[in-house]
Amino acid sequence: MSDIKYYSTNLKAEKVSFSEALLKGLAPDGGLYMPEQIPRFSKDEIASFSKKEYHEIAFFVLQKFLGETIPSTELAGMTKQAYNFDVPLEKVYDNKYVMRLDQGPTASFKDFAARMMGQLMQYFLKQEHRNMLILTATSGDTGSAMANAFYGLRNINIAVLFPENEVTPRQRKQMTTLHENVQILSLDGKFDDCQALVKQAFNDPELDYLNLSSANSINIGRLLPQSVYYIYAYSRLCDIEKGDEIVFSVPSGNFGDLMGGLLAMKMGLPVKKFVVSTNANDEVPVYFATGNYKTIVPSENCISSAMNVGHPSNMARIVALYGGIMNADGEILKKPDLEKMKEDMFATSVDDSITRETIKRVYDRHKVILEPHGAVGWEGLRQFMNCEKPTENQVCVSLETAHPAKFPEEVELATGIDPELPVSLSKLDDKEEQFDKLESGYENFKIYLKSKYGA
Ligand SMILES: *Cc1c(COP(=O)(O)O)cnc(C)c1O
């Protein structure tokens, strides 16, 4: 299967190998790379995962996509190094779980993708004797996860652009205290503005010399690793011999997390339903309900700040997965099979007041602490269960995408508890911050990049 090619969702660029798709990020026609074929697991393979550790499942999944591109022993070493932390499945009640994807070095689920991607990029860059500048926009967690994953790597510099007023001080410190090959930039604007600047830089021939790559959820190198925890959860909670199916609820912003889940399903994982839970940025739930997709500009500011996205870039991929075409502006050029999408996914939106109520209710009833993103996921799951009434013993897993200690004000407001900091975060307070403020407008961004990274 090593010759799986990657096509662009805009269908106007050449198909490329995995390493090219990984190192390019965005396709030259502005589209996102998608695998031309999706490898399938046999039933026996899925059954065998129950005896494998997380990093072994990750190895297995990646090798399905990569074939012999990376020698087995090296790939196994890379997954082992990337996944050296726990993935707790915390029981809330009956067969309803929260999967805590917050035990990595930046206490965000983005560590899962970032750490693997750092390893993969370094491997291919070394092979090709090349250097690269990673340029990424973040609403908080991507940037810190990427900055940490790439910090100290050779052949790679990373510049991270964040919206000044949309990240918490702790999220900011996770990026601004690293230095070395990590450059941090703040913009007086929204996440979407940051993302627009990054996209423009990618399409600017004058910046070709920088050998830019993205590390946003648009990069295919982030999606493949994000399919693994779905498979892992199934392996721990379900039995394929018994025909078990699983429900996942995914708190969604740019829809990379969900795309990973959809890939796992296409690989053969028996998923009954994905609950797609958004905050007040409800363009996708509205699309499911009405068939009309309308981006939200500017995006709504919600307490689940990493999901304040008015037009998720991965929508183009999801639409492609269901036979349609969506361009970068969110226009649907060819309709996907919306009925099939609704069979696979239940989409709903949860506003801030319900998010806060959910944090409180889940703590009061079950003594489980959620932060705003995880609470959006949990509430989406509750709505799905109310609406579609699965059997009582249906296994359901809601993803908790950040550590509650990253959102101490909201958690304390709802539960009265100031969540304890994981070690990775507690060390930040004494470190010195360093970042540059960017004036708005693309020209300023370009001038900055040229001066910083030599024209
Ligand atoms: C990025 C992020 C999300 C949303 O993930 P997407 O892949 O963009 O949908 C949810 N929660 C947290 C904490 C995040 O950092």
Could you report the per-residue pLDDT of 27-65, keeping only the tens digit for each? 989 899 999 999 999 999 999 999 999 999 999 999 999
pLDDT, tens digit, 9 for 90 and up, residues 102-138:
999 899 999 999 999 999 999 999 999 999 999 999 8
Q: How far away, in angstroms, is 140 Cα from ligand 1 center?
A: 9
Gap between the Cα atoms of 86 and 114, Å rounded: 16
Q: How far is the CA of 73 from the centre of ligand 1 (A)?
A: 31
Position 185 scores a pLDDT of 97
Please tell me the residue having the least CA distance from ligand 1 atom 8.
Answer: 254
Stretch among 17-31, 367-381, 437-451 having the lowest mean pLDDT: 17-31
Q: What pLDDT, on the 0 to 100 scale, is given for residue 378?
A: 98
Query: What pLDDT shows up at residue 455?
Result: 61
Distance of CA 242 from the midpoint of ligand 1 (Å): 32
Q: Is 300 in the pocket of ligand 1 (CB under 6 A)?
A: no
Is the beta carbon of 261 within 6 A of some atom in ligand 1?
no
Which of the listed residues 257, 258, 378 should we mutate to test ligand 1's pocket, taking the one with most ligand atoms within 8 A of CB? 257
The alpha carbon of 253 and the centre of ligand 1 are apart by a number of angstroms equal to 6
pLDDT of residue 169: 86
Question: What pLDDT was estimated at residue 170?
Answer: 82
Question: 122: Cβ–Cβ under 8 A, 6 or more apart, which residues?
Answer: 153, 154, 155, 156
Predicted confidence (pLDDT) per residue in 322-376, tens digit: 999 999 899 999 999 999 999 999 999 999 999 999 999 999 999 999 999 999 9
Distance 305 CA to ligand 1 centre (A): 9
From 32, 100, 109, the mutation candidate for ligand 1 (largest count of ligand atoms within 8 A of CB) is 109
Pairing type for strands 6-8 and 345-349 reads unpaired
Q: Is the CB of 400 under 6 A from ligand 1?
A: no
- Average pLDDT estimate for 426-454: 93
Q: Please give the distance, rounded to the nearest whole angstrom, from the Cα atom of residue 250 to the centre of ligand 1.
A: 9
pLDDT of residue 226: 97
pLDDT at 426: 87
**pLDDT exceeds cutoff 60 at 1:** no
Evaluate if residue 291 carries a pLDDT over 90: yes
Rounded mean pLDDT, 274-295: 97
Cβ 373 under 6 angstroms from ligand 1: yes
* Banded pLDDT at 216 (limits 50, 70, 90): low
Residue 277: what pLDDT?
98
Does the C-beta of 253 come closer than 6 Å to ligand 1? yes
Which residue type does 20 have? E
Instruction: Say yes or no to pLDDT of 214 above 60.
Output: yes
Q: Output the residue whose Cα is nearest ligand 1's atom 15.
A: 141
Which range scores top for mean pLDDT: 11-25, 117-131, 225-239?
Answer: 225-239
* 113 CA → ligand 1 middle, Å: 11
Whether residue 2 has pLDDT greater than 70: no
Residue-level pLDDT at 342: 98
**Ligand 1 within 6 A of 141 CB?**
yes
Mean pLDDT of 384-388: 98
The pair of three-digit structure tokens given for residue 9, joined into one six-digit string: 């969702």
Task: Give the distance (Å) from ligand 1 centre to CA of residue 306.
Answer: 5
Token couple for 40: 């399938």
CB of 100 sitting under 6 A from ligand 1: no
Separation between Cα atoms, residue 317 and residue 202, nearest integer Å: 19
In the prediction, which pLDDT does 3 show? 82
Mean pLDDT (whole number) for 283-297? 96
Alpha carbon 266 to its chain centroid, in Å, reads 18
Does any ligand 1 atom lie closer than 6 A to the CB of residue 255?
A: yes
Spell out a b/e string for 329-347, using b for 16 or more CB atoms within 10 Å of the CB, else e. ebebeeebeeeebeebbbb
Query: What amino acid is encoded at 320 in this protein?
Result: A
CA–centroid distance, residue 372 to ligand 1 (Å): 11
Cα(400) to centroid(ligand 1), Å: 10
Q: Is the shortest distance between the CB of 254 and ligand 1 below 6 Å?
A: yes
Residues near 49 by beta carbon (within 8 Å), at least 6 away in sequence: 57, 60, 231, 232, 234, 235
Measured in Å, residue 264 CA sits from the centre of ligand 1 at 18
- Report the nearest atom of ligand 1 relative to the CA of 371: 13
**420 Cβ contact list (under 8 Å, min separation 6):** 405
**Percent of the chain whose pLDDT exceeds 70:** 99
For the chain, domains (ranges, CATH) are: 88-108+222-423 (3.40.50.1100)
Q: Which residues contact 300 (CB under 8 A, 6 or more apart)?
A: 279, 280, 281, 308, 310
For residues 378 and 234, what is the distance between their CA atoms, to the nearest angstrom? 18
Measured from the CB, is residue 404 less than 6 Å from ligand 1? no
* Residues with Cβ within 8 Å of residue 439, at least 6 apart in sequence: none
Please give the number of the atom of ligand 1 that sits closest to the Cα of 402.
13
Q: What average pLDDT does this structure show over 152-177?
A: 91
